[in-house]
Structure 1
């Protein structure tokens, strides 16, 4: 499932990567257009979508804004209307490697777990590898370097490579790693109906760049849901989204917190 708004060019790249998945049984790619005429027109063009893809247009109310709360509500809506036993997520600015879905399904079948995830390669918007020794979600450079060193000690990152070995440490682990991007997950629909994406975000979340993927990971951890990882970096994660963009406004409606909660 992909949520998209105002970025049809990037969406086309994401759609292409989903179409290259190596799955003998096939899958459905649902695209949720967040009230954007430009993207709506793009998807209505002849040949814009492969046969396995479909889309729906989500209208906005007068107080709806872009941000993690809106994304959570759209994801939850898509989960409710889906009839697939398994759900994955692909942000419109990211890509999947061809073996992404197959490796996730194999991991779920092998472990019997309802929550499995991949790992990722982090790249700049132009596709070049992100090799800076800092955490890209920290606006303060000193804090970013300190967090990188912590992740280095934990085995999540490694100098000279853009691979990020994300994981979700269980309860009881000291100084845990709680880092799985939305696009890395394969989750049972029944699990997402029981533990949906949280849509409440406050000033503390904004200061810490806590997104809907962070809250989902914490909720899964707190519920003691068993989690497995493929160990494969099959998500190509492009920097420049709202969680690591500190210099420009890509959507004038964006707000970390809902209107009226500032």
Structure 2
């Protein structure tokens, strides 16, 4: 296998089915596998099986929970790291169960990695509402306070990350010497060498300061890569479809009854 795609899921079989289709529709000229980590939700697997045959290149990993295990960025990090260790492919990509990719997402990332020789490459994204319509509000969706959200959108507009009238977000990782840097690459945008992820695994330690700033595992990974000056390239193409409504941007309802930012 050249690429392993990792998806973590919990009790959302209808979204997982959409993510599975998106991975299987990849127009990639190389063998790949899809590791689906079922976070204490074997019912999701049974539900999908009832819908018909499942793809042969999917590996299903059921992980149970102890009495103190909770949902959150810490557990997500540990499950991602586990999948990286299980994989034997030289390249790893991540697709959350509520997101999808353009059919040439993986192929364009592999081309970028081959052209640059970099171990860390990423795409851009299209930000969508939960119903799939473009998110066009001029407000950062990860800010709890509307005024802070508008201010952050203005900052990202000045940096060239967002632009009014389009849902495309041009994420990037600015070098250490850039003032007021952009440090924003979603997990689903990355293609990373497995050896790099073994050197720089996802951080699973989160505290009250991280919760207040809504710092997730993808943010900490980007910070770690930036701090070690890892060369990073971007395809410049918005091949990730990022659907709003996850724990980092939906403040109207609990993401999961067990959710906790801090373990």
TM-superposition CA deviations, 1:90-117 (whole Å, max 9, x none): 0000000001000000000000000000
Q: Which residue of the partner structure matches residue 121 of structure 1? A: 126
Deviation at 1:135? 0.3
| Distance (whole Å) between structure 1 residues aligned to residue 40 and residue 253 of structure 2 | 21
- Asked if the contact 1:40–1:57 (Cα under 8 Å) also holds between the matched residues in 2, the reply is no
TM-superposition CA deviations, 1:208-262 (whole Å, max 9, x none): 110000000000000110000000000000000000010101310011111xxxx
Q: Which residue of the partner structure matches residue 14 of structure 1? A: 19
Q: Which secondary structure state, in structure 2, belongs to the residue aligned with residue 62 of structure 1?
A: coil
Deviation at 1:46? 6.2
Deviation at 1:38? 2.4
Q: Which residue of the partner structure matches residue 107 of structure 2? A: 102
Q: 2:152 is matched with which residue: 123, 126, 147?
A: 147
TM-superposition CA deviations, 1:128-148 (whole Å, max 9, x none): 000000000001000000000
Q: Which residue of the partner structure matches residue 191 of structure 2? A: 186
| Distance (whole Å) between structure 2 residues aligned to residue 188 and residue 43 of structure 1 | 30
Gaps of 5+ in 1: none
Aligned length: 258
Deviation at 1:43? 3.9
| Distance (whole Å) between structure 1 residues aligned to residue 102 and residue 51 of structure 2 | 26
| Large movers: runs of 4+ above 4 Å | none
TM-superposition CA deviations, 1:23-77 (whole Å, max 9, x none): 1222101100000132132244363522222211011111100000000000000
Q: Which secondary structure state, in structure 2, belongs to the residue aligned with residue 229 of structure 1?
A: strand
| Distance (whole Å) between structure 2 residues aligned to residue 194 and residue 97 of structure 1 | 29
| Distance (whole Å) between structure 2 residues aligned to residue 48 and residue 5 of structure 1 | 21
| Distance (whole Å) between structure 2 residues aligned to residue 154 and residue 12 of structure 1 | 36
Q: Which secondary structure state, in structure 1, belongs to the residue aligned with residue 50 of structure 2?
A: coil
Per the normalisation by structure 1, the TM-score is 0.97
Deviation at 1:178? 0.2
- Asked if the contact 2:42–2:62 (Cα under 8 Å) also holds between the matched residues in 1, the reply is no
Q: Which residue of the partner structure matches residue 30 of structure 1? A: 35
Q: Which residue of the partner structure matches residue 242 of structure 2? A: 237
| Distance (whole Å) between structure 2 residues aligned to residue 54 and residue 128 of structure 1 | 31
Q: Which residue of the partner structure matches residue 89 of structure 2? A: 84
- Asked if the contact 2:72–2:259 (Cα under 8 Å) also holds between the matched residues in 1, the reply is yes
- Asked if the contact 1:68–1:199 (Cα under 8 Å) also holds between the matched residues in 2, the reply is yes
| Distance (whole Å) between structure 2 residues aligned to residue 61 and residue 43 of structure 1 | 25
Q: Which residue of the partner structure matches residue 140 of structure 2? A: 135
- Asked if the contact 2:77–2:217 (Cα under 8 Å) also holds between the matched residues in 1, the reply is yes
Distance change (3 Å), C-alpha of 1:48 and 1:201:
farther
| Distance (whole Å) between structure 1 residues aligned to residue 237 and residue 219 of structure 2 | 20
| Distance (whole Å) between structure 1 residues aligned to residue 51 and residue 133 of structure 2 | 32
